[in-house]
Amino acid sequence: MIIISFAIVTLMLFVFLVYYSRLHLLLKLVTLPLAITLSGLVTYHYIDNLGKPLDRPIPDVMEYVHHEISGNVVYVWLTTEERGHRLHVVPYDREQTKALEEAKEQKEQSQGMAVEVTKSDIKGEGDSKPTYDIKVKNPVNGQGESK
């Protein structure tokens, strides 16, 4: 709603400045429909993209909520302190999926308590391999024991 209000105010300001300028009459007449069409397209694009999963890697520290595997991608719903709830779509990775399955089991066993997953890279020979540390957080003090 805020984006639509902002678009309308910007549109009105733009039209006001154009109509009271010394531009040719034909240019003034074309400006309003063009501005309305452009703001409509921007608003439609913004609303259409709301709720789409982020095509980014999973953050290093997250609170697990849920995941689904679909073909060769994994949809991961998680919570971070900076961004809140987000849906991520990531390519299928065996180690990452194992950690997500373990987090799912921990969440089910802990009866809905928060499960925190921390990713760390271990530098070895050749390429680095990520490891995942899964903790069930105590809802009282936010601390938890590592599994």
Pairing relationship of beta strands 129-137 and 144-146 according to DSSP bridges: antiparallel
pLDDT for res 39: 79
Instruction: Based on the fold, state whether residues 17 and 74 are members of the same structural domain.
Output: no
DSSP label at residue 23: -
The answer to whether residue 29 sits within a structural domain is yes
Query: For residues 114 and 103, is the Cβ–Cβ distance under 8 A?
Result: no
The answer to whether residue 37 sits within a structural domain is yes
Name the percent of the chain in helix, strand, coil, to the closest 5.
40, 30, 30
**Residue-wise pLDDT tens digits, 43-59:** 788 878 777 887 777 77
The answer to whether residue 54 sits within a structural domain is no
Instruction: Based on the fold, state whether residues 96 and 25 are members of the same structural domain.
Output: no
Per the structure, the count of domains in the chain is 2
Query: For residues 11 and 36, is the Cβ–Cβ distance under 8 A?
Result: yes
The answer to whether residue 110 sits within a structural domain is yes
Instruction: Based on the fold, state whether residues 83 and 119 are members of the same structural domain.
Output: yes
* Domain around 126: 61-146
Instruction: Based on the fold, state whether residues 78 and 137 are members of the same structural domain.
Output: yes
Most confident by average pLDDT, 45-59, 85-99, 103-117: 85-99
The answer to whether residue 56 sits within a structural domain is no
**Residue-wise pLDDT tens digits, 121-143:** 655 555 556 666 767 665 544 44
